Amino acid sequence: TATDADHDATSSSFAVTVDGSGSILEGGAGDDTINAGTGIDTIVFDADDSHIDGGDGYDTLLITDALTIDFAAVADKATSIEVVDLQQGQVDTIAISLSDVLQMTDGDTTGTLRLNVDDTDNVTLESTDDNANPVTWTTGADTTDGYHTYTGSSIDGTVTLEINTLIDVPQS
């Protein structure tokens, strides 16, 4: 977190570029641009951020301040993300589309995104992509590390969502 002389989080805009592994990046309040570079990083998201690029590696986007999450708006700002962490202890309503996954994971026609949710969260898998094409979601085998898998397919591509087994996601 960027802080001022009194160690209070600042509300200015920042451009942060990091090239290392294991970084926790938080621009603070304001219009921030964050480029994580290579490695395994955690990036703290806020709605005022203008651009977040996870870069190469396995990167987590931490969302702590939302009750209703518009993944289309998040996907417009965040790229090269492999995990979205929503485990902040409040009830979230989450709607996510095949197009959101493709955009966040930088996939042209395929992508995999992992969602860490609380047991009180509600996830909806959108039945159309951004081009209004129908999406078929199927439930796959659970992963060995505790995630349900859901595969979404449309003429625009195929994505896999891995959602921890704390919740079941109804199929649309």
- Cα–Cα nearest to 43, from 97, 104, 93: 104
**Alpha carbons 38 and 15: distance in angstroms, whole number:** 17
**Alpha carbons 36 and 20: distance in angstroms, whole number:** 8
Query: How is residue 88 annotated by DSSP?
Result: S
Scanning the structure block, which residue is given the tokens 């600042």? 10
pTM summary value: 0.85
pLDDT at 24 (0 to 100): 84
- Cβ atoms of residues 106 and 57 within 8 Å: no
What's the whole-number mean pLDDT along residues 54-66?
88
Scanning the structure block, which residue is given the tokens 């979205």? 84
What's the whole-number mean pLDDT along residues 27-55?
87
Scanning the structure block, which residue is given the tokens 């996870």? 54
pLDDT at 12 (0 to 100): 56
**Alpha carbons 100 and 73: distance in angstroms, whole number:** 9
Q: Which two tokens stand for residue 71?
A: 């993944």
Tens of pLDDT, residues 108-150: 899 999 999 998 889 999 999 999 999 999 999 999 999 999 9
Query: How is residue 134 annotated by DSSP?
Result: B
Describe the chain by its helix, strand, coil percentages, rounded to 5: 10, 40, 50
- Cα–Cα nearest to 92, from 121, 65, 62, 118: 121
